[in-house]
């Protein structure tokens, strides 16, 4: 028997695995452009840019002003350090990019890179310069992490944004996960809502916020890349104008013997409605932003019951279609459930990741 002792090395902290610049110069690409840090006063400029780019990159959805306002109010986002903007001589925003650290990393330190260039100025090297700045700021975020978590720089892109995807892949990003957008025609016959035993279905409301957030964090704990949602992040979503708690539903069960609550949320279907987007889909629709069931409550038909209930509620509210997004590789079999309820695939998007 060998007397050699084998030592298993401890995982290294992310800050010890990442080399980050101590300072970052502003980009200089693009004739006539002035690059500068961002402030909240730039929200309208950024919204105009996002809308112009979205007509090419994601023509069936819009960035909303209050979404940007909530992003700028988030305590994890310091716009003067985490974002840059390029403005042309007419005062129009030509490029915008950010790199934002996660609020509550648990299994991955995921830095989200979000950026775009106005379509008529693409092909001038502006996007490459913007990405280089975002990566440098992203590395600074990664280097601030004292834990041994995996580090990701991640970008999401509609599969129509082929130029963006090519740029990212040329800089070492890999297509890590595909997402499918689905639609359901609410004019067609809808499935009868089953009656799940042991729970009651109630509309979502402010009084349920913390219990619903707890259920969301449990339901998505085994979902690819998802990190826990903080109370501040949850509240920001509730404040959005598109949020429709009256069309959303919770599955509520009696509390367990060791719980302080008399009832607990075991499932949820949350709905947004944004009339500003209706012309993009040629009619009124509701967007199902989240569907989830606590892990111990799965296999009881709760998701089907809640979804069937919500689809009928949307139709009764005068909406012609329901839209949602799903992980193409969801471990819960969500895609099959949605398709069995009448949803069909309409669009795709992809998450591209560089790992550290």
Q: Quick check: is 194 in a domain?
A: yes
At which of 144, 172, 200 does a domain end?
172
Same domain for 114 and 239, yes or no, is no
From 172, 197, 214, the end of a domain falls on: 172
Q: Flag whether 354 is in a domain.
A: no
Tell me how far apart the 2 most distant CA atoms of the chain are, in Å: 78
- Together in a domain, 193 and 293: yes
Residues 140 and 211 in one domain: no
Residue 288, pLDDT score: 98
Model pLDDT, residue 331: 81
pLDDT of residue 9: 63
Instruction: Tell the burial category of 275 from Cβ atoms under 10 Å away from its Cβ (0-12, 13-18, 19+).
Output: exposed
How far apart are alpha carbons 182 and 198 in whole angstroms?
Answer: 30
- SS3 state of residue 149: coil
The answer to whether position 4 is within a domain reads no
Domain check: are 230 and 166 in the same one? no
Residue 256 has what pLDDT?
74
Q: Where are the alpha helices (DSSP H) in the chain?
A: 14-17, 43-57, 65-73, 79-82, 126-142, 162-170, 209-219, 231-239, 302-316, 334-340
Reading the chain (356 residues) residue by residue, the pLDDT tens digits are 445 545 556 789 999 999 999 999 999 999 999 999 999 999 999 999 999 999 999 999 999 999 999 999 999 999 999 999 999 999 999 999 999 999 999 999 999 999 999 999 999 999 999 999 999 999 999 999 999 999 999 999 999 889 999 999 999 999 999 999 999 999 999 988 888 889 999 999 999 999 999 999 999 998 999 999 999 999 999 999 999 999 999 999 998 766 667 899 999 999 999 999 999 999 999 999 999 999 999 999 999 999 999 999 999 999 999 999 999 998 888 999 999 999 999 999 999 999 99
C-alpha distances (whole Å) from 281 to each of 28, 57, 169, 270, 338 are 38, 15, 31, 20, 20
Angstrom distance (rounded) from CA 197 to CA 312 = 20
CA 298, 299, 305 angle in degrees (round to 5)?
Answer: 85
Do 81 and 20 share a structural domain?
Answer: yes
Residues 330, 195 within the same domain: yes
Q: Does 7 map to a domain?
A: no
Residues 165 and 222 in one domain: no
Is 9 within the bounds of a domain? no
5 occurs within a structural domain:
no
pTM of this prediction? Answer: 0.93
| pLDDT at residue 2 in the model | 47
Do 121 and 189 fall within a single domain? no
- The Cα-based distances of 260 to 250, 252, 255, 264 in angstroms read 19, 15, 8, 10
Domain stops at, among 127, 147, 172:
172
Instruction: Please name which of 318, 319, 316, 309 lies closest in space to residue 341, comparing C-alpha atoms.
Output: 309
Distance CA 73, CA 175 (A): 30
Residue 259, pLDDT score: 61
Positive or negative: CA dihedral 81, 82, 86, 90: negative
Residue with tokens 């790992």: 355
Structural domain of 334: 181-349
Same domain, 34 and 164: yes
User: Based on the domain organization, do 283 and 228 belong to the same domain?
Assistant: yes
Q: For residue 325, what is the domain's CATH number?
A: 3.40.630.30
How many domains does the chain contain in total? 2
CA-closest candidate to residue 187, choices 267, 88, 75, 284:
284
Q: Is residue 140 part of a domain?
A: yes
Please report the pLDDT score of residue 1 as a whole number.
42
**Residue 194: its pLDDT value, please?**
83
Residue 26 lies in a domain: yes
Give the whole-angstrom CA distance, residue 187 versus residue 95: 41
Q: Are residues 38 and 75 in the same domain?
A: yes
Statement to judge: residues 138 and 211 lie in one domain: no
């Amino acid at each position: 028997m060998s007397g050699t002792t084998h030592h298993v090395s401890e995982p290294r902290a992310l800050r010890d695995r990442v080399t980050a610049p101590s300072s970052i110069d502003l980009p200089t690409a693009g004739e006539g452009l002035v690059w500068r840090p961002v402030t909240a006063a730039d929200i309208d400029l950024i919204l105009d840019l996002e809308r112009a780019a979205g007509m090419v990159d994601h023509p069936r959805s819009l960035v909303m002003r209050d979404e940007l306002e909530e992003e700028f109010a988030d305590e994890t986002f310091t716009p003067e350090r985490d974002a840059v903007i390029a403005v042309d001589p007419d005062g129009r925003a030509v490029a915008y990019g950010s790199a934002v650290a996660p609020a509550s990393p648990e299994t991955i330190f995921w830095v989200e890179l979000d950026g775009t260039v106005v379509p008529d100025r693409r092909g001038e090297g502006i996007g490459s310069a913007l990405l280089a700045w975002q990566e440098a700021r992203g590395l600074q975020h990664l280097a601030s992490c004292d834990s041994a978590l995996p580090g990701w720089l991640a970008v999401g892109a509609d599969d129509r944004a082929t130029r963006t995807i090519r740029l990212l892949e040329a800089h070492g990003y890999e297509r890590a996960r595909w997402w499918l957008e689905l639609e359901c025609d609410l004019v067609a016959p809808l499935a009868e809502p089953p009656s799940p035993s042991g729970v009651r279905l109630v509309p979502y409301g402010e009084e349920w916020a913390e219990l619903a957030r707890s259920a969301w964090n449990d339901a998505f704990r085994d979902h690819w890349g998802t990190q826990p949602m903080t109370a501040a992040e949850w509240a920001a979503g509730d404040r959005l104008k598109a949020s429709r708690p009256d069309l959303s539903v919770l599955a509520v069960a009696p509390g367990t013997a060791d719980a302080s609550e008399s009832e607990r949320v075991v499932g949820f279907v949350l709905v947004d409605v944004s009339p500003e987007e209706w012309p993009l889909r040629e009619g009124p629709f509701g967007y199902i932003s989240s569907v989830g069931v606590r892990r111990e409550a799965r296999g009881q038909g709760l998701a089907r019951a809640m979804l069937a209930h919500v689809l009928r509620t949307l139709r009764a509210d005068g909406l012609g279609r329901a839209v949602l997004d799903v992980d193409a590789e969801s471990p819960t079999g969500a895609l099959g459930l949605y398709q069995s309820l009448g949803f069909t695939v309409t669009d795709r998007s992809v998450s591209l990741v560089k790992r550290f």
